Amino acid sequence: MRISDTFRPSAAPLALIVALALQGGALAFDVKEGPAPANPPPGMLFKSIGDSLREGLNALSSGNSEMAVQALGYAAREGNVAAQWKLGRMYAEGEGVRRDELKAYQHFSEIANRHADVSPDSPHARVVAQAFVALGGYHLAGIPNSRVKRNPVRATEMFHYAAAYFDDADAQYHLGRIFSEGVAGPRDLHQAARWFNLAAEKGHVPAQARLGQMLFNGDGVPRQGPRGLMWMQVAANKAFPGRDDWVVELNARARSVATEDERRLADAYLRKYERSGR
C-alpha cells in the first residue's frame, strides 16, 4: 500500500507558516540540549532564523530550489518548526526537489520529536499535528527500500496522538478509517463512527461522507437514514472536483435508494445545519 492523497497531511499549514514568517522570527523555538548552531550556507548570511526562513520561502517562490533548500535547511537545523515542515512537504510532494519520502519522513520526525508537547492552543499546534499525521501515513504504508516498514499499530499511535491531544480533524478521520477497515486489528465500527463524527463536526469532507454512509446503512450505529443522507449531502456540497468525486457518487447512490420521506427529512436537517453557520 502506497501513501496516497487520502493519507497526506493537509496543505493548509503553509498559510500559517507564511503569515508567521512575516512576523520576523516568531517561529524560532528554544531548543533544549542539542547541537551547536549551524553556520549559514556559504555565501548566505542571515540576521536571524526568521530571516533565513523568509529567504527560503522567497527563493522557492522564485524557482530557486537550491537556495530554498539551503536557507530552509539552515533554519530547520536550528529547530525552526516552519522550516522543518516546509522541507518535509517539499520532499513529500517533489516541490522544487526530487521526491524523497525518507527525507520527508526525517523532517516530520524532527518536528514530532522536538515539539510533541507544544500546547494545543499554540499557533504552531496545527503544523505539529500535521507532522504526526504525515508520519502516520508513512508508517501505514511503509517507505520502500528504507528502515520505515509498514507498521499499522505505529501508524495508529501517531494518528491517535494528533487526534486526541491536538484535536486534529485529519488525524480523527484517519483513525476512523483504521477502525472501520480493521487495518491495525479487529474492526470497531463504533469507534470508527466516533472519530468520523468528531472530524465531521469540524467540516472534514471525507469524514462527513463516511459518517453519513455509516448512519444511512446502520453500520456499527443505529440506522438514521435521513441524518446519514444529510451528512453525505453536506460533504457533496463541499467536495473538491476530481479529488472528492467519490463523495459526490456516494451521496448520489444513497439518495437514489432512499425513500421520499428520508430525502425530505434529510433536506430539512440540511437546511437547519446550514442555518447554524457550520
Long-range CB contacts (< 8 A, 24+ apart) of 230-237? 230/266, 230/269, 230/270, 230/273, 231/200, 232/208, 233/266, 233/267, 233/270, 234/208, 234/270, 234/273, 235/205, 235/206, 235/208, 235/209, 236/209
- For residue 32, the 8-state DSSP code is -
Distance of alpha carbon 176 from alpha carbon 155, whole angstroms: 13
Phi, psi (degrees; rounded to nearest 5) at 96? 80, -5
Residue 66 has pLDDT above 90, yes or no: no
Confidence (pLDDT) at 9: 52
User: What tens digit of pLDDT does each residue of 154-189 get?
Assistant: 999 999 999 999 999 999 999 999 999 999 999 999
Segment of 32-36, 42-46, 64-68, 107-111 carrying the highest mean pLDDT? 107-111
Confidence (pLDDT) at 79: 83
Phi, psi (degrees; rounded to nearest 5) at 231? -65, -40
Residue 2 has pLDDT above 50, yes or no: no
Distance of alpha carbon 276 from alpha carbon 265, whole angstroms: 17
Distance of alpha carbon 251 from alpha carbon 36, whole angstroms: 56
The amino acid present at 96, given as its one-letter code, is G
Confidence (pLDDT) at 62: 85
Q: Which residues contact 118 (CB under 8 A, 6 or more apart)?
A: 124, 125, 128
**Band (71; pLDDT cuts 50, 70, 90):** confident
User: What tens digit of pLDDT does each residue of 103-151 get?
Assistant: 999 999 999 999 999 999 999 999 999 999 999 999 999 999 999 999 9
